[in-house]
Amino acid sequence: MTVIAIVDYGMGNYHSVERALRHVAPEAEVRLTGDAAVIRHADRVVLPGQGAMADCMRTLEEAGLREVVLSVSQNKPLLGVCVGEQMLFARSEEGDTDCLNRLPGEVLHFAGAAFEASAGHERLKIPHMGWNGVRQTQSHPLWAGIADNAPFYFVHSYHVVVADPSVSVGEADYGYPFTCAVARDNIFAVQFHPEKSAQDGLRLYRNFVDWNP
């Protein structure tokens, strides 16, 4: 039986992710766990996250899970969700926080003219919240059965800026185009919430269950 570990370090939308995975993969054993040994021996790992980056990195460290996440990110199928995507990069300007440094780039706040009030212009609100189409900028097995520009649900004030364009596999627009899905080797990660994104989100989770990088 395939074991899917959802990393529980105290800062994530864990139960929604767990319910979605149990729904799409009834044949798998889905474990919501803060046990490093369970995560290390799982077949697949999901790293969710929400809240402030400094708090996420601190609680991951305090839970004793930083090293096991780094370890499994080297060789197991790993899905990062929301702040779990951001944590995989080198640094976030949110709290000037060092992250896991598994992917090249940084995490920046939405900024620029689109977010500033001016005559004849209504500024975009932060956080970016709601449904937004996702352009599939590169093909990937996790996009299987999902139409290009399909809508997914977002809630975030920061976004990743990749240092290597080959890592970006999906983009959305909010004030300007930003990377919202990344992939390299055994890692796939998204800024949006698949568990809140209806059938396309469930399909992405099922694709992750079936993925053999």
Asked if 27 is an active-site residue, the reply is: no
Query: CA dihedral in degrees (85, 61, 212, 33; nearest 10)?
Result: -110
**Residue of 128, 156, 159, 193 marked catalytic:** 193
Asked if 23 is an active-site residue, the reply is: no
Asked if 82 is an active-site residue, the reply is: yes
Whole-number Cα distances in Å, 206 to 23, 95, 154, 165: 9, 34, 20, 26
Q: Is residue 143 within 8 Å of residue 210, measured between CB atoms?
A: no
Tokens standing for residue 138: 């590169």
Type and span of the H or E element at 128: strand 128-136
- Start-to-end CA distance of the chain, whole Å, equals 18
Helices and strands: H and E segment counts in the chain = 6, 13
**Residue of 56, 82, 99, 180 marked catalytic:** 82
Residues contacting 58, CB < 8 A, separation 6+: none
Q: Which residues are catalytic?
A: 82, 193, 195
